[in-house]
Amino acid sequence: MKNIMFIAPPAAGKGTQAELVVQKYGLPHISTGDILREISKEDSELGNYVFETLASGKLVKDEITYQLIENRLAKDDCKNGYIIDGFPRNIEQAIEYDKIIKKLGYDIGNVILINIDEKTLEKRITGRRICENCKAIYNINDEASSPKVESICDNCGGKLYQRNDDNLESFKTRYQMYKEKTEPIIEYYRDKKVLKEVNGEDTVENVFKKIDKIISE
Ligand code: AMP
């Protein structure tokens, strides 16, 4: 199966969509945000740096992400396809990613861009809640995506938490980072003829239908 890369502004639903792809196709989901959130819990100089950077909404230094991505993609479970979410996030990372996949003998696969309006994102960011156990994602600002019982995961009964960068202040920086640093990679992949665009202003199910059509073609 082809590899899948997601590009989307913060809270556009790429994590949710990636999980739906995992459920249907069983590909490993590699999210630099998830990996960095784990590192941010470590009591070390690196852990503290990552914690502060994530909370501010800025990007962590490129060099930190390269090693982490290369090590993860080299694992056996990626050999038959994977979903990459949150990387690359700027042109330098896109160029480095080309080198990493060349070294590992992988193809870019499908690059899926989820387009969505800034106002929708603001609404989603403050309502997002995540299960600390199974990582399922909910949104309390949207009835269809709310958990049945407040703060409890429908899937596994785990406790739901709010990311500490899911507030309006961090969102502004994260969105600005996306516009300034990440958007230029869209042209980079359009030129390589691997970019597929999806309108994210729809229900989770409908967005997934469009993504599923792209990846099963
Ligand atoms: P995400 O879960 O994709 O929204 O990422 C959360 C945060 O992790 C971002 O706001 C950045 O601070 C950091 N991050 C994730 N991926 C990268 C990356 N590829 N390069 C630099 N920072 C990243």
> For the segment 26-84, what is each residue's pLDDT rounded down to a tens digit?
999 999 999 999 999 999 999 999 999 999 999 999 999 999 999 999 999 999 999 99
Burial 180-214 (b: 16+ CB within 10 A, else e): ebbeebeebbeeeebbbebebeeebeebbebbeee
* Residue from 69, 83, 75, 86 nearest 22 by CA: 83
**What are the sequence ranges of the domains in the chain?**
4-117+182-216
Write out the CATH class of domain 4-117+182-216. alpha beta
Most ligand 1 atoms within 8 A of CB, residue of 6, 37, 49, 60 to mutate: 60
* Residue from 30, 84, 36, 31 nearest 59 by CA: 36
- Å from CA of 14 to ligand 1 middle: 13
Most ligand 1 atoms within 8 A of CB, residue of 7, 32, 93, 121 to mutate: 32
Prediction pTM value: 0.92
Q: Look at ligand 1, atom 14, and give the residue with the nearest C-alpha.
A: 33
Is residue 28 reached through a cis peptide bond, with omega within 30 degrees of 0 on the bond before it?
A: no
List the chain pLDDT tens, one digit each, 217 residues: 899 999 999 999 999 999 999 999 999 999 999 999 999 999 999 999 999 999 999 999 999 999 999 999 999 999 999 999 999 999 999 999 999 999 999 999 999 999 999 999 998 999 999 999 999 999 999 888 999 999 999 999 999 999 989 999 999 999 999 999 999 999 999 999 999 999 999 999 999 999 999 999 8
Pocket of ligand 1 (CB under 6 A): 10, 32-33, 36, 53-54, 57-60, 65, 86-87, 89, 93, 165, 174
